[in-house]
A = this chain, B = another copy of it.
Amino acid sequence: MKKLFFAINLFFLALFIFPVPGICARAPVSEASEECLGCHSSLHPGIVEEWQKSRHAMITPQEAMGIKGLSLKVSAKSVPEPLLKTAVGCAECHGLRPDSHADTFTHNNLDIHVIVSPDDCAVCHTEESSQYSNNIMAHARKNLAGNTVYQELEKSIIGKPRRIEGRLEYMAADQDTGAEACYYCHGTKLEVKGLESRETFAGEMDFPRISGWPNQGAGRVNTDNSLGSCSACHARHLFSIETARKPHTCRECHLGPDVPAYKVYMSSKHGNIYSSMNKDWNFKAVPWTAGKDFNAPTCASCHISLIINTDGETISKRTHEMSSRLSWRIFGLIYAHPHPVKPDTTIIRNKSGLTLPADFDGTFASEYLVTPAQKEARTESMQNICRACHSTEWVKGHWKRFENTIQRTNADILTATNIMEEIWSRGYAKGMEHGKNPFDEPIERIWCETWLFYGNTIRFTSAMAGGGDYGVFADGRYQLSRQISQLHDWLELRKRLFPQPAPIAMFLEK
């Protein structure tokens, strides 16, 4: 008998060491959530089973708050009593703060809302939510939709083309196209458009109609007016730190060619090591120990996660204000520039009065951008992470190249922009000075691609010390130089064919 007991013990010990998916400890579920599960486990097995595998189903907030030191994940100082002793289930999240949500409706006698927002998550994850609200990504919707210059670019890409008097013009896009294109990542505005009655297996029921839904964009405007969507990265009902730490999550929006972080990363040495060896790494450990839990950084390692060394000393603090660690913004608008100070970039004005962080001649709108001292502090905090695996000499050598590449790509884009400005000033194409969209003609696109695609891609390969091919033959220097030559050739051909083009004045008179 004892032997049996012993063997069973051993068996469970083995299970503990080699966890088997599907067998897991479970926290007590609230009565309200049990009721949800009663129907929805059959109706939406995908969601329910995923939640069952989540940490939210396995531990109560009270237990989670009892964890000491750096492993603590619940940053709230206190959590409302009714939530403390049950799993974080359906009713707990979808029933939170009902008065703040425009989409709250009565469903099976409970006041619930469809959209769970960062302000809901903040009840337990206060610091993360607060940091994220200062992150530039939380403002991604307004930063695009509220910027008059970018709106011209948006219109030229997703707008409806129309041929008018020998000219092709783009009219504003319909909302559904916007939601699926730019605002898939930037975030839609969720608005309740009344209730809708629907026949269900349990009889007729009312549900809110929400325009802009579905969406998990990083800068989504929620039904409680909060900004962002935690499920953009902590996907669906697993809310997993593992998913968020893997680069595939970032891929959804940072793929390219405009912000090619994912494909550059995967082609770098870091990405190589990740791809080959991540099966042996621990993506759930909090804090995350460099070298022990992982042997090459993922996006999260450098930009978000709490990293310690094997002595338990903090290398890098957790932050959900990712932009606070960035010295340069390598996404050229139209030049790489010191990072904006505030997450709302619609306040920026360059010296020409445009809502751009740099002028077309390369002058930065410095008053809205981090100072040299701030840049240095941000660089130092990033380099500190590099040094967990690399020598100081290595890091300095890498950074010298990165700064050089910022200068070189900006210089090349200035060359391209000078040619473009000559094209405009000679009237071969019609830009802002003619009161026209500066991004919609084919030759303007040749110019756009120098900064929007190739300058950006080159800088990403530089920042990540790799992705060599992306920096050269794939969306890199080969393409950048080709575009500059095309701009030049196009202008020279026009000068030869049409020595007397329509001067600007002519367009202005129209």
Contacts and interface: CB of A to CB of B under 8 A. Distances in A.
Contact of A238 (B252, B267, B295, B468): B295
A381 interface: no
A273 B236 contact: yes
Contacts of A486: 442
A492 to B, nearest CB: 6
B400 A176 contact: yes
Interface string A53-88: 100000000000000000000000000000000000
B280 A21 contact: yes
Interface in A429-465: 440-443, 445, 452-453, 461-462, 465
A507 interface: no
A492 B165 CA distance: 11
B168 A488 contact: yes
B18 A291 contact: no
A270 to B, nearest CB: 10
A114 interface: yes
Nearest to A244: B276
A256 interface: yes
Interface string A254-265: 011110000000
Interface string A262-296: 00001111011101110111100000011110011
A267 to B, nearest CB: 6
Interface string A148-174: 000000001111111100101010001
Interface in A178-213: 179-182, 184-185, 198, 207-210, 213
Given A160-B411, A242-B277, A474-B257, A468 B271 contact: no
Contacts of A503: none
Contact of A401 (B179, B268, B472): B179
A33 interface: no
A487 to B, nearest CB: 9
A50 B297 CA distance: 13
B289 A267 contact: no
Contacts of A484: 161, 168
Contacts of A255: 267, 468-470, 474
Interface stretch (A120-128, A334-342, A363-371, A387-395): A387-395
A216 B482 CA distance: 28
Contacts of A281: 21
Interface stretch (A8-16, A319-327, A345-353): A8-16
A463 to B, nearest CB: 10
Nearest to A441: B485
A279 B271 CA distance: 18
A317 interface: no
A42 interface: yes
A372 interface: no
A415 interface: yes
A25 interface: no
A291 B53 CA distance: 10
A161 B471 contact: no
A157 B256 CA distance: 21
A20 B16 CA distance: 12
A257 B389 CA distance: 31
A246 interface: yes
A302 interface: no
30 contacts: A7-B7, A11-B14, A21-B280, A44-B389, A46-B388, A46-B389, A46-B390, A49-B289, A49-B295, A114-B393, A157-B477, A160-B408, A161-B484, A163-B488, A168-B489, A176-B400, A176-B401, A176-B404, A182-B472, A184-B471, A185-B469, A210-B393, A213-B397, A238-B295, A240-B277, A251-B271, A251-B272, A252-B269, A258-B473, A440-B485
Given A44-B390, A157-B478, 8 more contacts: A17-B20, A45-B311, A177-B477, A182-B472, A198-B392, A251-B267, A255-B468, A279-B279
